[in-house]
Structure 1
Amino acid sequence: MLVIADTRLGVVIFLATGFVRTLPHDFEEAAQLDGANKWQMYWRIMLPVLTPVLFAGAVTLIISVWNDFSCALFLPRGSQPATLPLTLYSFASSSTHGVSRNLVFAHVVLTSLPLVLAHLVLQRRALAGLTEGGVTG
């Protein structure tokens, strides 16, 4: 699972880098005038401003790792558990008398249920991050 996350982490870094480059330097200058050092500028100013893009990157990374099929199929697992799409594939293809569609679709619903619940819980946070702005005017 860490291998899969590491391969997709570049997208999150790309998003965060592009977002930081568009931020105005007024934030840093105002913090320096107030006497903040580099760590205080990062923790108190930059990280709260970066929260929406880091949240969006985390959601993208989680969904990508959750739905991974090809890496989980081709990388040796050993005793590690497989991803849910891979278990669905092995469940659907293990029957010798044909596929039981009702059981496969029940597995699909159960596989997607944690992501749907996470969306319902975090929906307010995602929408608040989209409408949040640092500079007015």
Structure 2
Amino acid sequence: MDTNTYALIAPEGSLAFKRGVPSARMWADVDPHFGVFSGFTLTMPSRHGAHGMRGYTAACSARHPESYAPNETAKRVMTALGAPEQPWFGNLVLCGELAGDTGSLDLCGLTKEQQERIRNLHAGAGSAQ
């Protein structure tokens, strides 16, 4: 399993799977303009090794529409993943999350199953446009 993959959903609707969790490249994909990001847990990892999922977006994206285009595809994918329906702006990055031995939450790559789920939701979101 590739344990270092994250998903990037861009405002124009594209989906890319990239390597590097966490890395400077991943953070630059989240917010290429100001480098300030906000993270949120979509699904909690279990203490028994099951992966959770975490999302990241630019922290100031809704306040700077001149720099961050609306991301309708991300809105549809996030709603399908169980997030509240709300506008999304700029890039959305999704990665995995594991529970550490000390109770900490550690970033990791998406599992193959998570990647496939995102791919399927993205395909459905694109057909809804």
TM range (shorter): under 0.3
- Name the structure where helix makes up a greater proportion of residues: 1
- Name the structure where strand makes up a greater proportion of residues: 2
Task: State TM-score, norm by structure 1.
Answer: 0.26
- More relative contact order in 1 or in 2 (CA 8 Å, sep 6+)? 2
Q: Which has the higher Rg, Structure 1 or Structure 2?
A: 1
Task: State TM-score, norm by structure 2.
Answer: 0.28
